[in-house]
Structure 1
Amino acid sequence: MLEKSRGARGLPLYSSKDHPHNSHWSFTRLPRRFTNLKNAIAGFVGLFLFIYYIFIPWATGPRLPPLYSEYHIRDLQLPQNNPNLSYPEGKDGRYIWIGNQCDGVGWGNYMQEFMLDAFVAYEAGWTNVFFNYTWNKQGGPYTKYGKGLIPSRIPLSALVQGPLVGDPWAEGDDTPRAVVKEYFDQICPKSETIKINPREVDENQPGNFPASVLVDKWIQKLATVQSRCVEVDKDELQMFSFWTFGKADVLLDVWPRYSRSPIITQFRWSNLIESAFTTNRHLFTEAHTPVYPYETIPGLLALHIRRGDYEDHCQKLATYGSVFNGFNSFPQFEDKFKVPVTDNESFKKNVYLKACFPSIRQIVEKVNQVRRTDEGKGLKDIFIMTNGRTDWVDELKTELRAAGKWGLIASSRDLTLNWEQKYIAQSVDMLIGQRAQVLVGNGFSSLTSNVVMFRMARDVPPNSNRFW
């Protein structure tokens, strides 16, 4: 189900219109003789932004959220943003801009969608066009959220690295590299761009086609296109909606091919996320494992516990009769959720709350149960992935220590993050969860779902993925 971001802990981006470096700044359009000028401009812009965002807010009032400008500049300077390159890139390449990706939802929801969209482009052999994680398409670069501001849009390259954001594919893979939206606008004028309505592919949208069938239908559709430029209509429903990600019988049939694709195998978190992991590693492990590759940290138990407005959300799930998200429902998992068949609404609500919004007592009971399993042997440290209030987290830590001998116990609230990392901190939690020996997550959460996806792709023991 859709999952809201947690205030200043999970987020959004900017378009070329409202960013200080809008589309006419695309450096790839400059002739070679202006290379030195390009570097000088980039240096000047960097200095200006440093002064503007560091010193001006300090002198004039509350500090504004970051806009991740250096990442936007990086995207504009990708070497494949060049029409003179030979096919399958350059002016003769085939480009697909999936303009209807979801917005106004949590990072977990956005992430699962843009990755599967990129898988379609990869399987079809087209150049994928990436944009920004978008909370608010309209208005300026900031959006009011709760009592503060958040970035309206965040460049994907501030969140992830790898082929998803234009880095090279593995050696020998001739799939065209991904490009940024501003370059697509240059290389694909509207007169040469064909719009595809997703209903042409899934006429019953939102339908119940298995994900692999829907992927193949998109590949077949793209094979019939008579233009080198495609835009998936931004005003229509998504290619893969929450109906796809919310049902195991719809989603999991694509897993064998998806999990082996470079969309998954070459995935890597951004330098911002990895550096936050390194800085805070002492909070949850005494092991000195390298940040990459993302190998398991022995002895680490990660708990994903949503609080705040999630209590109301969980009660709505009971009304809908919702099930665990698709990637939280692999048949090998021990913890499965069955929708209670009852007319007793109070009983039904409590079943959902235990799985979705567990109490401290229920959390401690589950932790003790997991520790007695084969997968739980040797667990000694805990990291709590949460948006809970500090006083609630402190109470949980106290109860966990009282119930068993633990070494380190830390939470999301204990992380030391710089100003840019603060607004993408959900991803720091996700990286820690990926590497835990055991994860106990929220089966209804897309954040848990994405962590489980990466863990299963690494062939961790299935029952090291547990749920409340």
Structure 2
Amino acid sequence: MQYRNYLASPSSWRLLRLFLAFIVASSLLISYLFLKSRPSYALYTILAKHEISESRRFIHNSPDNKYVLFKQLQGAGFNNQAQEILLFHHLAWLTSRVYVYQPIIWRPRGSQATVPLSAFMPGVTRNSISAAVFNEACSPEETKRIKVRVNNGVLWEYTKQQLNGREKCIVVEDWILNWNFLASAALHDIWPEFQKYLSKYFQWSDPIRAIAARAHNHLNLRESLSNPDGEPYIALHFRRGDFEGHCQSLAEHYTGFTTWATLPSLDPSTYPPTLTTANQTSVIEHCYPTLHRIVEIIDAQVRDKPHLRTIHVLHDGAWDHPLVYAQHYRLEATLTNAARAKRAGWVGGPMRRVTHSGQVPIRWGEADWAVMVDVELARRAEVFIGNGYSSLSTQVVALRLGADGGRVEDITLL
């Protein structure tokens, strides 16, 4: 009775209304900040229209071209989509076909939100055509539809044979670059040519390069070994967030590293003990390493390169993953502890600076490019410590070794 009387009192209803008003106002503020932080749809509309006009011009000027349209992964993380797009573009290039590109399905904006590919990787869209005008280049009578149903060991070469046919247009109807293929040894034979492809075709968009340059300057990080400005640094991909549950699932399925982390040349780069996929504990150790293991790996790098006293941490901390920040600050406290550094055999003292993703100077309207900037900062680091189960880390590995001609010795996989 007293409880009901309390709820019925004017003061309690007033407090309830104030609480509800606070919730509504907070939701509106969060929505406003979220929307304002991302590029406008007007910009993307302009880019999409430009893609179409350039595609039509290309079709008109090159009537004898042959085309290929693939079924692509949609809605996964950016680097999952990007690595597949690059491989498909490479496959089209190898078979003298024009790649028919599709927009990125950008999950941060919603499950079906699309963003023009040129907003991220304009190198792929150059001398390619948008799927929006595919029917203008290829009539149904000129189009052959195929399905590639072969095992991973012969999939790449078999697909090349199919695309080398005389048909003007080919549509590959099944998803050929599936997870099993991307984690298989079949990818190793592709690597030598793919390295050349990356050095020739890979390019970030102007906004991504501008933000990365601003970040190097703002955080005083050296952009390359040949650039004297800024401090040389280690980049650490600290993959946390929702990865713990994902790693548990990978362990239950006895899954190994993905894509370019499986290259035999990178075997010495995997920090011991060696990954044993038959052992679930081993999978977890490499996929979701403890802070102690991560610090051990940093110790090894700093003992080998005592001039490195700055580390940049790429992390996925966010409002829905707040514990990532707590783990990051524990890591920072450990790395900047002078007594611990001395015990670990560091010459020259502890880390002087620990920067991280949250300090990258992302301005209003730039949030869609934050992930790519993380990749670029890791790509330019003197040393990269990454996660062989992460598509972001393996994308960094591909760019360092492929597009930049970097050294395997400067990469460590957790």
**Percent identity between the two aligned chains:** 24
Residue by residue over 1:336-382, the C-alpha shift from the partner in whole angstroms, topping out at 9 and shown as x without a partner, is 4421655xxxxx43x33331222333222221122122xx3421211
Residue by residue, what CA displacement relative to the aligned partner does 1:408-456 show, whole Å, maximum 9, x if unpaired? Answer: 3211111121344312311111111111111110011111111101111
Runs of 4+ more than 4 Å apart: 60-63, 293-298
Measure, in 2, the Cα distance between the counterparts of 1:392 and 1:272.
31
Greater Cα shift, 115-124 or 455-464: 455-464
By how many angstroms is 1:62 displaced?
Answer: 6.0
Contact 2:219–2:355 (CA under 8 A) maintained in structure 1: yes
Match of 1:465 in 2: 411
Range with greater deviation from structure 2 (446-455 or 394-403): 394-403
Q: Deviations over 1:255-283 (max 9, x none)?
A: 1122123x443311111211111121135
What is the aligned counterpart of 2:115 among 138, 154, 159? 154
The verdict on how the C-alpha distance between 1:61 and 1:356 changes in structure 2, with shifts beyond 3 A counting, is closer
- Measured against aligned partners, the alpha-carbon deviations of 1:183-218 in whole angstroms (never above 9, x if no partner) come to 22322233432212222xx2xxxx221xxx433322
Aligned twin of 1:390: 325
| Among candidates 244, 251, 256, match of residue 192 of structure 2 | 256
Mapping 1:278-297, distance limit 5 Å:
278-287=213-222
The answer as to 2:209 corresponding to 1:271 is no
User: What amino acid maps onto 1:467 in structure 2?
Assistant: L
Give, in angstroms, the shift of residue 310 of structure 1: 0.5
- Given candidates 311, 314, 329, the residue that maps to 2:247 is 314
Q: Could you tell me which residue of structure 1 aligns to residue 67 of structure 2?
A: 95
Counterpart for residue 78 of structure 1: 54
- Residues of 2 paired with 1:297 and 1:278: CA distance? 11
Shift, 1:106, TM fit: 1.1
- Aligned twin of 1:368: 299
Structure 2 residue 164 is matched with structure 1 residue 223? yes
Aligned to 1:129: 100
Question: Displacement of 1:121 after TM fit?
Answer: 0.7
Q: 1:445 to 1:298 in 2, by over 3 A?
A: same
TM-score (norm 1): 0.70
Q: Which residue of 2 aligns with 1:300?
A: 233
Paired AA for residue 208 in structure 1: N
Aligned partner of 2:57: which letter?
Answer: N
Over alpha carbons, which structure has the higher Rg? 2
Corresponding residue of 1:208 = 152
Structure showing the higher helix proportion among its residues: 2
Deviates more, 1:364-373 or 1:311-320: 364-373
One-letter identity of the residue aligned with 1:277: A
Taking the aligned partners of 1:354 and 1:251, their CA distance within structure 2 comes to 24
Instruction: Return closer, same or farther for 1:359/1:296 CA change in 2, 3 Å cut-off.
Output: farther
Q: Quickly say closer, same or farther: Cα 1:304–1:296, change in 2 above 3 A.
A: farther
Contact 2:254 2:283 in 1 (8 A): no
Report the residue type matching 2:334 in the other structure.
Answer: E
The 8 Å contact of residues 296 and 437 in structure 1, kept in 2 or not, is answered as no
Per-residue Cα deviation, 1:118-153 (whole angstroms, up to 9, x for no partner): 1111011111111111257xxxx9526xxxxxx722
Q: TM-score, normalised by structure 2?
A: 0.79
Letter in structure 1 aligned against 2:204: W
Q: In the superposition, relative to structure 1, how do residues 294 and 271 fare at CA in structure 2: closer, same or farther (>3 Å)?
A: farther
Q: Distance in 2 between matches of 1:411 and 1:122?
A: 37
Identify the match of residue 112 of structure 1 among 83, 87, 96.
Answer: 83
Mapped to 2, the partners of 1:421 and 1:62 lie a distance apart of 12
Flag structure 1 segments of 5+ consecutive residues without an equivalent.
1-56, 145-150, 167-176, 343-347
SS at match of 2:355: strand
For residues 220-270 of structure 1, the C-alpha deviation after alignment (integer angstroms, 9 at most, x for no partner) is 2123343x122222xx3x2222222212x2211111122123x44331111
Residues 261 and 388 in structure 2, CA contact (< 8 A), matched pair in contact too? yes
Structure 2 counterpart SS, 1:358: coil
| Residues in 2 aligned to 1:295 and 1:117: alpha-carbon distance in whole angstroms | 37
Task: Encode CA deviations 1:75-130: one digit per residue, 9 max, x unaligned.
Answer: 12326634431xxx23x3211111x1111211121111111111111011111111
1:335 to 269, 273, 283: 269
3-state SS, counterpart of residue 217 of structure 1: helix
Q: Secondary structure at the match of 1:332?
A: helix
Cα distance in structure 1, aligned partners of 2:165 and 2:388: 39
| Distance in 2 (alpha carbons) for counterparts of 1:392 and 1:283 | 24
SS of the residue corresponding to residue 234 of structure 2 reads strand
Structure 2 contact 55–129 (Cα < 8 Å) conserved: no
Which amino acid in structure 1 is aligned with residue 169 of structure 2? C
Relative to structure 1, is the Cα distance of residues 74 and 400 closer, same or farther in structure 2, using a 3 angstrom cutoff? farther
Partner of 2:366, secondary structure, is helix
Asked if the contact 1:439–1:464 (Cα under 8 Å) also holds between the matched residues in 2, the reply is: yes
- The alignment yields a C-alpha RMSD, in angstroms, of 2.9
Counterparts in 2 of 1:343-382, with a 5 A limit? Answer: 348-349=280-281, 351-373=282-304, 376-382=305-311
Alignment equivalent of 2:134, drawn from 170, 184, 208 = 184
Count of residue correspondences: 360
What is the match of residue 21 of structure 2? none
Distance in 2, matches of 1:305 and 1:391, equals 12
Alignment partners' CA distance in 2, 1:408 and 1:142 = 33
Tell me the amino acid that sits aligned with residue 393 of structure 2.
T
CA shift for structure 1 position 288: 6.4
C-alpha displacement at 1:324, in angstroms?
Answer: 1.5
